[in-house]
Chain A
Amino acid sequence: MTEMTDTGVWQEVASPFCGIASDDLSIKVEGNTVSIVENGDAVTKAGFETPITDLSPRVNGKEVSLSEAVSHVAGLLRSSKQPVIGGLATDLNGVRSAMALADKSRATVDSMDSDAAFRNLLVLQDTGWMMTTLTEVRNRVDVLLVVGSDIEVDYPRFYERMLWNKESMFDQEIESRQVIYLGKTPSGDASTSPKGKKAHVLACDNEDLPEVMSVLRALVNGKAVQAEQVGGLAVSDLADLAETLKQAKYSVVTWSAGSLDMEHAEATVQMACEMVKELNADTRSNCLALGGKEGSTTVYNVSSWQAGYPMRTNFSRGYPDYDPYLSDSKRMLANDEVDVLLWVSSFNVKRTPPESNATTVVIGRSGMTFEQEPDVFIPVGVPGIDHAGRAFRGDSSVAVPLRKLRDSGLPSTFDVLTAVEKLV
């Protein structure tokens, strides 16, 4: 449990900032200054250590009280014809309050990481998948295939925690684990084994992945492939990879959807998912969709259980109306379909709203700076630093408790949105 020891250091702190939600951080708090003492990385360091600046809300650039800001926002929503509640980087109760407000104000809900999330969700809704979770990977993986993603950038501790752990539960020799990259080449050495065995890389452009993955799937299924080259890769190398996957006892095919930035990446994700299903005719294999940083897994879960649909759901007709294309908030904003944008971003000061002509309200982490001052800015606390909360890990099966580590006086997103809802 996250707890403070005598030395003023919090132990076993969970990070909501990256999707693997490491919960072994030691964190020192002095006044409002937070520093990671142990088990930090580039992502969590920025996440925990970004200092507080603003404490007061602003309306049209002028400092106002929280209640004035809240009633101003409620007024904007009351007169709005097509509001969007976007961003949605927050914790469980933050999303709950956003959903309640969207329902009441007939808004569209969307998340800042929807583009990435839908590369997976569209596959779930079309054909489904076989997935595993982090602890299973840690104990069982023998072959890890990384598709089109340089995962150590967004998940710096993935390999340390899931691949190169000291021992597995099932007497597996850790060093025997194979890591294979298909697509991107790893930028660092995280994927190199403790004894120095480097990942095997089959490099190609992400744009070629749809073709490469479909050939790999065909080879897994024993189909004859006439071509000798695909996406610059030798088909014989892909045939070897197919054989490796078939021989593996518990292979894991992973990707970070945020990295699959080519058009129709969902088709590649689907190819991977279907291939994994087919591998399971004889052996065990699973997908692991890495994602879920800064609350994005929390958003789609809460939206699904409260509305029946993930984000990109529109309440303008009084009931949830799901359309991943029409209710894409980026598209709506670019097309001037939105008159009020309420942007929630409580984790990362760099995640500011997209430029648009909409009246913009930012419920944001203190310390956020803007190229263009939003119409309303309400600084809020960070879940897991300024207030307690809960956040889903990227694999969705586990949610971590987040503790209040300091007393900054900043309100939570839940506090703000619930107050707005009462006035709408």
Chain B
Amino acid sequence: MLTKLTGGRVYDPANSINNEVKDIYIRDGRIVRAPSDGQFDEEIDVRGKVVMAGAIDMHTHIGGGKVNIARTMLPEDHAADVVARTELMRSGCGHAAPSTLTAGYRYAEMGYTAGFEPAILPINARQAHMEMGDTPIIDKGGYVMLGSDDFLLRMMASNGDQEAINNYVAWTMTHSQAIGVKVVNPGGINAFKFNQRKLDLDEKNQFYGVTPRDILLRLAQAVKELGVPHPLHVHGCNLGVPGNLDTTIDTMEGINGLPMHMTHIQFHSYGTEGDFKFSSGSAQIAEVINKHKNITADVGQILFGQTVTASGDAMRQFSATPHAHPNKWVCMDIECDAGCGVVPFKYKDQSYVNALQWMIGLETFLMVDDPWRVFLTTDHPNGAPFTSYPHLIRLLMDKTFRDDILSTLHPEAQKASHLASLEREYSLYEIAIMTRAGAAKLVGLADRGHLSVGGAADITIYTDDADREKMFSKPDYVFKDGTMVVKDGELIEVTWGTTHVVKPEYDNSIEKALKPYFDKYHTQKMGNFKMSDDEIVDDGRGSLTVQPLHAGGKI
């Protein structure tokens, strides 16, 4: 069937299309050329409406052990937002740690068509993919966490060559079905197991003698040499520590020009000035990002209210436990692989620190010049649940709205921020870059995030509204792979998205070292660690999409 979307105002930054009236044709889930005979089967009149590709959340904790700990731990989080079953949808619950089913429905209802879990422990990949497999409509994928795993640290401590590290990284990506590589508090999760309580960029792991800087360089190099499009995804050292700004700058400048993505950088942009010994470092951070074209960042904006923080960073999460609200929390050491910490948290607008965190996030958005290199996230659910994205978009697009809220926040925090002086308002085109074209490019999705002929027909259509929160909350239509799944903001069809992966090539001789390692030290066999393609496909509902590697990677 050929469907014509007639007369929409198209924002397609991947093709430099900025608010041009264009027709779009869909057939068999793809965007196709206009038919030469002018014939089509169905027409949807979208004249005057805003047309974009489906939005892509490049960093959202939607699946895996720590997310499920958060769900299980917080019945009270769900109680106020239980979701009844309908003819179409399964029951579930929403808010900070929503059920997988409800998460998929709500993403789609907001016009999102893909979300990427940023912290898949290799050993827990099976669970992460099970949960994402139960997340309807949206596409998904994940970044596999390395950097505190003992195998890598052993290789580095014994001066293993880069080639061997590349093989190990590619092997791990392949068998945990990942599209990227993430490092969380590089080496720090491991150091915490040896009772180290902090690990700065050049501080040594007491057992291995390896520093976070070494780990970042090795992994960033591996990702580049393997041709993995998504740059090394970095949750840096010292998350949340006042004064971490210097480490963050050193991390960005010290990567020697290798591609690197700094995630939830808001949490890493703190100075120590002022009476509260807590100040904004966003200006310095933005300046470094602006200068270094190899660096990208997502913000990890905080918004006020109750949420839960779920992170692989067991070291930093443990130190945050005195702030748990409600007062319960989990920290784990996991399988000589990594760890996690789950700490519920309530961001308060009358707290100096929380108010300033809110300002630091927005300052970062507004001071990074290039929307292709900064991404819209709340680090769901760590800064706020993903359902607050429309609100966040309005904060970026509407200075009056932003200033109105700013004026209600902790007065000392207002004095400590120059947010009020920032005039910038994001345009629809820039929002489309940040949430579509840029995100797809960053994750490495060749066929998503744009409206080119041949691309997947993931399309979101909005009614233009000066109230951007309202506009982005309820799209008129959402198409997922060509199927209309949302109409007038309501879900009308449930589909199951694909799982995006890359398959970098590696020399299988790495298994000569891995097999005895598993046999000697692990409690699972190497062969049973590996996740097969069949596990993603499962009972036929799931599917695997292998995205292309960058040129330069081995084919």
Contacts and interface: CB of A to CB of B under 8 A. Distances in A.
Contacts of B530: 1
Nearest to B330: A128
Interface in A8-61: 12, 14, 20-21, 23-24
A329 interface: no
Nearest to A102: B91
Provide the main secondary structure of the chain B interface.
mixed
A307 B334 contact: no
B328 A2 contact: no
Contact of A398 (B74, B321, B335): B335
Contact of B333 (A2, A124, A136): A136
Interface stretch (A164-172, A186-194, A374-382): A164-172
B92 A23 contact: no
B127 interface: yes
Contacts of A138: 521-523
Contact of B130 (A131, A280, A390): A390
Nearest to A106: B85
B131 A305 contact: yes
A167 B520 contact: yes
Interface stretch (B97-105, B352-360, B407-415, B435-443): B97-105
Contacts of B535: 390, 401
B136 to A, nearest CB: 11
Contacts of B336: 135-136, 139, 169
Contacts of A397: 65, 121, 123-124, 127, 332, 334-335
Interface stretch (A66-74, A92-100, A210-218): A92-100
Contacts of B527: 1-3, 12
A306 B333 contact: no
- Category for how many chain B residues contact A: 35 or more
Interface in A73-87: none
Interface residues of A, number: 73
B521 A139 contact: yes
Interface string A281-311: 0011010000000000000111011111110
B198 to A, nearest CB: 15
B73 A396 contact: no
A161 B71 CA distance: 31
A129 to B, nearest CB: 6
A131 B538 CA distance: 30
B517 to A, nearest CB: 9
Interface in B54-87: 63, 65, 67-69, 71-75, 78, 82-85
Contact of A121 (B72, B102, B134, B332): B72
Interface of B: 63, 65, 67-69, 71-75, 78, 82-85, 90-93, 97-102, 121, 123-124, 126-127, 130-131, 134, 150, 154, 192-195, 207, 318, 321, 324, 327-337, 342, 520-525, 527-528, 530-532, 535, 538-539
21 contacts: A1-B528, A12-B525, A12-B527, A14-B528, A124-B328, A125-B73, A127-B328, A128-B324, A132-B332, A132-B334, A134-B523, A135-B521, A169-B154, A284-B192, A284-B193, A301-B68, A305-B67, A305-B130, A319-B92, A322-B75, A398-B124
Going nearest first, the 8 A-B pairs with the smallest beta carbon separation are A1-B527, A308-B93, A308-B78, A128-B328, A134-B523, A135-B335, A319-B84, A304-B72
